[in-house]
Amino acid sequence: MLDQIHPLRHARTGFRILSLLFVLALSAGSADEKKIAVFSPAATYSITVIDRDGREYAGLLEMLEPLGKVSSIIDGPRWTLRYNQIDAEFTNGKKRARVAGHEFDLPANFLLENGRGLVPVASLNYLLPRILGTAVNFNPAARRFFIGNVAVHFTAQLTRTTPPRLVMTFTAPVNPTVATEPGHLRMTFNRQPLVAPGTPTLTFDDKTIPSATYSESNGLSEIAVNGTVPLMASFSNDGRTITVAPAPQQAVAPPTPAAAPAGTSPAGVAAAPNAPGAVPSAAPLAPRHFYAVIDAAHGGEDRGVTFNGKLTEKDVTLALARRLRQELESRGIPTLTLRDSDSNLTLDQRAIFANTAHPVVYIALHASAAGKGARIYTALLPSGGENNGPFVAWDTAQSAMLASSQATAQGVAAEFSRRQIQTRTLSAPLRPLNNVTSSAIAVEVAPPDTDVTDLTLPAYQQNIASAVASGIAAMRDRLGAPR
Amino acid sequence: MIPRHLLIAVGVMLLAVLVLGFYAGRVRNRANLPLPAAQDAGPVAPPASGPAERVTLYVAHDDAGVLRAHAANIPLPAARQQRAEELLRALLGAYLAKDSPHPLAPGSELRAVYLVDPGLAVIDLNSAFANGHRSGVLEEELTVTSIIQTLTANIPGILRVKILVDGHDRDTLAGHADLSDVYDANAVAQLAGQLQ
């Protein structure tokens, strides 16, 4: 038996190494590498397009693997693929194929290369519905493949305010890469199945934001907002709304977290717009300085730890965040909370909103059933992350503030100890701590004893919140003023 | 007239070619078949070959929330990459044992360790390991630190560690411990010191 397993194991190990090298080579590939983006309810991914004899080919196995159970068998020139219960047969160098017992011709020969079955990209539009058994929509020019009803639509509306604001509302949360350049603000959607509006160019009859253009290519879609002044984008409504507005002039008003999905102190900024009509029209971009940003971890579909049938980490952290905000404000510390409802933010969004607010301290809240009391974490910085001049590496953005964060953690821990709450200070690979550019700590609250439901005790939560707030307040002189 | 012994020799060689060709074809087809799902909860047992060596496993203990260094004698092959794999399989075996101080999900398994670049180790774990892992900052941190510290303390020359799940990038282990970045071995060693 061992004699039979060993050759196969070596073959698997070799195949994995080759696969890894292949993946590394792909990731290091040129930016203009041809790709097909696949959007489906099960997964969003992209596969590489290969040119053979002037035609574009794609690996059929790679295309189907993220979508269901798939296997293939090579028998000489014949390549048989099984996806769930559907069999598809191809022959190397032949156009004729058979899917689920029905024969048809591909627009070009099927290719078998190193065990990979390659089909012409032009055949995917009618090949995949037969294999998947569901409707697909393929845009070959943009190389974007939609399986099922996953498309995200958007509307854009310009508010006639001073300054004007372009409010884009999406049918699902989006998280584009935003880049600004003179005259344009570009939002590139890598992973969202965004589809074109009725017309690719939207005009607004406005001097500041005259138009926006939608385009798509090589699996990506992009919205370019044209402006006569520098523009900035802000996210709200759990990523379903993007508001583009003129960037505030530094001399007049520093950047504000005006569109952060936040609950704020009474002295804080206006609430985030939930719909175009709710945009704070003509809201003055007054300087806002938050000393502390509170981030209740998890939320929405991300429940965090499920302690029992009903009690979840996201609910405990939200309750703690509200108490902590109250405690900080009662000590005269202006506070911004990133989440004040059962909504979710990505880790990147949390860091972006925190960094935009330029607080002195960022406090993430977690909850756990393990151990007792509280644990206070600072960032465990990952490897790499070179800073180039004014550009700071995202993964190690915390590096310059790590000593300050550790001092903050020690200050808060001292307050816990003073109240005889069991506490530990540790570093942790816990995002977004490493992405935050201010002092940043995470507090993980465990029950006072063995009963996890004690996490919901108002007195216990209040004691924890009060301890954190007192620790922060005691550190105020050392941490300095808001930037 | 061809000598008879030459005909016999050629015949034997042809037969050998046919048999080897048939065997090679079978091995190639089997390599393309999907791997059967793991049936047993334990990881693959270390091979019997290789002399038993004394290693240090950094084992997480949930009761105190700490890492403890445990000396163990396990058979290790000579090749560096296989040594790394057997080392981590021994660690996961300890976590999957009945009296585990830090239980992992049944079916948790190491798929492979790749030493693809001087100083970089890529640990590939299966989805049962990640999908069934308990959620929580400390629980996840103990697991990640235990694995990385055990590897780097026993296999010299590893400076950075990347963890994959089923060969793919993953954001977090179970909602907290970051798996998207590459771990710095020195930073993890310091963390292991904090956790002891």
Instruction: Match 């004394």 to its residue by tokens.
Output: B54
CA distances to A159, A176, A242, A243, A340 from A220, in Å: 28, 10, 18, 21, 33
Residue B66 sits at φ, ψ, to 5 deg, of -135, 165
Could A16 and B124 be called an inter-chain contact, meaning their C-beta atoms sit closer than 8 Å?
Answer: yes
| Min distance A383 CA to chain B CA atoms (Å) | 5
C-alpha span between A167 and A159 (Å, rounded): 7
pLDDT average per 10 residues of sequence, chain A (483 residues): 43 49 42 80 86 89 86 90 89 91 89 89 86 83 85 85 86 83 84 83 87 89 89 81 75 36 37 30 45 92 87 93 92 88 87 90 95 95 77 89 94 94 94 95 93 90 94 85 59
Which residue from A70, A347, A377 is facing B137, i.e. has the nearest CB?
A377
> Tell me, what amino acid is at A476?
R
pLDDT for residue A478: 80
B11 and B105 fall within a common domain: no
SS3 state of residue A271? coil
Q: Are A231 and A168 members of one domain?
A: yes
Tell me the nearest-neighbour CA distance from A443 into chain B, angstroms. 10
Q: What is the pLDDT of residue B49?
A: 67
The closest alpha carbon to A336, from A318, A321, A320, belongs to A321
Residue numbers in A near B116 (CB within 8 A):
17, 20-21, 24
Chain A residues close to B181, C-beta within 8 Å: 382-384, 395, 429, 434
Q: Verify that A130 and A169 share a domain, yes or no.
A: no
10 Å Cβ neighbour count for B41? Answer: 13
CA distances from A277 to A160, A218, A283, A304 (A): 11, 35, 13, 33
User: Do B60 and B15 fall within a single domain?
Assistant: no
CATH of the domain at A158: 2.60.40.3470
In the numeric block, the tokens 């330029």 are attached to: A358
Quick one: DSSP state of residue A194? B
Question: DSSP strand E in A197-318: where?
Answer: 201-203, 211-217, 220-226, 231-236, 241-246, 263-264, 292-296
- The verdict on A331 and A347 lying in the same domain is yes
Residue B178 · residue B172 · CB < 8 Å: yes
Position A118, amino acid: L
Residue in B28, B178, B188 closest to A74 by CB: B28
Which two tokens mark A174? Answer: 């989006």
Contact call for A429 and B114, based on CB within 8 A = no
Residue A261 lies in a domain: no
Residue A249: the pLDDT is 52
Closest to A369 in 3D by CA, of A461, A451, A462, A468:
A451
In a domain, B43, yes or no: no
- The complex scores an ipTM of 0.76
Which of A83, A114, A147 is the last residue before a domain boundary?
Answer: A147
Say yes or no: B142 and B91 in one domain. yes
Residue in chain A lying closest to B48 (CA): A2
**Residue B95 within a domain:** yes
Q: Which residues numbered 437-456 in A keep a CB inside 8 Å of some CB on B?
A: 442, 444
Looking at the structure, do residues A76 and A190 belong to the same domain, yes or no?
no
Distance from C-alpha of B112 to C-alpha of A17, rounded to nearest angstrom: 9
Whether B17 is in a domain gets the answer yes
For residue A272, being part of any structural domain is answered with no
What does A386-414 look like in DSSP terms, one character per residue? --BTTB--GGGTTGGGHHHHHHHHHHHHH
pTM (predicted TM-score): 0.56
CATH number at residue A139: 3.30.457.10
Of A19, A384, A434, Cβ closest to residue B182:
A384
Helices (H), A175-262: none
Considering only alpha carbons, which residue of chain B is nearest residue A425? Answer: B194
Specify if A464 maps to a domain.
yes
Q: Same domain for A349 and A448?
A: yes
Please measure the distance between the N-terminal and C-terminal CA atoms of chain A and give it in whole angstroms: 68
How many distinct structural domains can be found in chain A? Answer: 3
pLDDT in 10s for each residue of chain B, 196 residues: 678 888 999 999 999 999 999 998 888 877 666 554 444 444 555 454 678 899 999 999 999 999 999 999 999 998 999 999 999 999 999 999 999 999 999 999 999 999 987 899 999 999 999 999 999 999 999 999 999 999 999 999 999 999 999 999 999 999 999 999 999 999 999 999 999 8
CA distance B74 to chain A (A): 20
- pLDDT confidence of residue A362: 96
pLDDT of res. A192:
85
Same domain as B98, residue B17 = no
- Measure in Å the smallest separation between the Cα of A428 and chain B Cα atoms: 7
Q: Are residues B89 and B181 in the same domain?
A: yes
In sign, the C-alpha dihedral spanning A322, A324, A326, A329 is negative
Nearest by Cα to A409 from A433, A439, A435: A439
A69 and A161 share a domain? no
A142 and A159, same domain (yes or no): no
Say how far residue A318 (Cα) sits from the centre of its chain. 20
Using CB atoms within 10 Å of the CB of residue B101, give its burial: 0 to 12 exposed, 13 to 18 middle, 19+ buried.
middle
State pLDDT tens for residues B32-89.
665 544 444 445 554 546 788 999 999 999 999 999 999 999 999 989 999 999 999 9
Tokens standing for A301?
A: 């579909």
Output the domain CATH number for residue A293.
3.40.630.40
Q: Is residue B38 part of a domain?
A: no
Q: Could you tell me how many CB contacts below 8 A there are between chain A and chain B? A: 124
Domain end residue (candidates: A117, A147, A177):
A147
**pLDDT for position A190:** 81
Look up the domain containing B67 and give its range.
Answer: 53-195
Distance from the A420 Cα atom to the nearest Cα atom in chain B, whole angstroms: 18
- Check whether residue B98 and residue B178 sit in a common domain: yes
Grouping H, G, I as helix, E, B as strand and the rest as coil, residue B191 is helix
* Structural domain of A208: 154-246
Is B68 found in the same domain as B19? no
For tokens 């979840």, the residue is A312
In a domain, A284, yes or no: no
End position of a domain, from candidates A246, A275, A307: A246
Mutate to test the interface with B, among A84, A303, A380 (most CBs of B within 10 A): A380
Examine residue B42 and state whether it is found in any structural domain, yes or no: no
User: 3-class DSSP state for residue A269?
Assistant: coil
Q: B58 and B104 in one domain? A: yes
Nearest residue of B to residue A348 by CA position? B171
**Shortest CA distance to B42 belongs to which of B107, B113, B110?**
B107
Residues A356 and A403 placed together within one structural domain of the fold:
yes
Residue B146 in domain: yes
Q: Which of B132, B151, B144 is nearest to B84 (CA)?
A: B151
SS (H, E, C) A41-60: CCCEEEEECEEECCEEEEEH
Residue B44 covered by a domain: no
Question: Does A99 reside within a domain?
Answer: yes
Same domain, B115 and B166: yes
Angle of helix B137-154 versus helix B80-96 axis, rounded to 10: 140
Q: What are the b/e assignments for A314-340, b being 16+ CB within 10 Å?
A: bbbbbbbbbbbbebbbebebbbbbbbb
Q: How far is B94 from chain A (nearest CA, A)?
A: 20
CA distance A381 to A384: 9
Same domain? A127 vs A204:
no
| Chain A environment of B138 (Cβ under 8 Å) | 368, 370-371, 375, 426, 444
Q: Give the Å distances, CA to CA, from A194 to A42, A147, A149, A184.
A: 16, 13, 12, 20
| A335-337 vs A292-296, strand pairing mode | parallel
In a domain, B39, yes or no: no
